[in-house]
Amino acid sequence: MIDKNVIGKRMKMLREGKGWSQKETAKKLGKTQSTYAGWENTSRIPPTEMLPLIAEKLETNLDYLYGLSDSPIHNSIDEVQNIVAKEMVLELLGIDLDEARNLPPTKLQSVLDFYKFQLKSSMEEERHETIE
Sequential DSSP letters for 36-98: HHHHHTTSSPPPGGGHHHHHHHTT--HHHHHTS-S------HHHHHHHHHHHHHHHHTT--HH
Average pLDDT over residues 88-108: 78
- Give CA 74 to chain center in angstroms: 3
Please state the φ and ψ torsions of residue 121, each to the nearest 5 degrees: -60, -45
Please state the φ and ψ torsions of residue 32, each to the nearest 5 degrees: -85, 160
Give pTM, 2 decimals: 0.55
The pLDDT tens digits for 12-55 are: 999 999 999 999 999 999 999 999 999 999 888 898 889 889 99
> How many CA atoms within 13 Å lie on the side-chain side of 41?
8
